[in-house]
Amino acid sequence: MKTILIYESTHHGNTKKLVDAVAKRYGIRTATVEEAAAMDLSAYDRIGIASGVAFGKFYEATERFMDDSLPKGKDVFFLERLFFPLYLRK
């Protein structure tokens, strides 16, 4: 199954670290959301979306990509690197 992992990691590079580790482990291609929006994704069976979260949502370009550019009929999975659980440890 051909997989691509599409990501947006703007604040601390946390999501990028996670994406790089997953891509290395499973040997899959990665692309930023900006790169992916300009790509033909029809050859991919499975699309991963990875983004930091701000104010309870994925980052803006990721939300836009999912609304406008995510092809229909693909297996889709999500990776997110939240900060919120740290607040809960207080």
In the complex, the residues that contact ligand FMN under the rule CB under 6 A are 9-16, 52-56, 81-84
Of 55 and 68, which CB lies nearer to ligand FMN in the complex structure? 55
Shortest distance, position 25 Cβ to ligand FMN, whole Å: 18
CA dihedral 29, 40, 10, 55 (to 10 degrees): -120
Neighbours of 30 (CB within 10 A): 19
The closest residue (CB) to ligand FMN is 52
Shortest distance, position 58 Cβ to ligand FMN, whole Å: 9
Shortest distance, position 24 Cβ to ligand FMN, whole Å: 17
Of 3 and 9, which CB lies nearer to ligand FMN in the complex structure? 9
**Could you tell me the CA-to-CA distances from 18 to 23, 41, 48, 49, 52 in Å, in that order?**
9, 22, 12, 12, 11
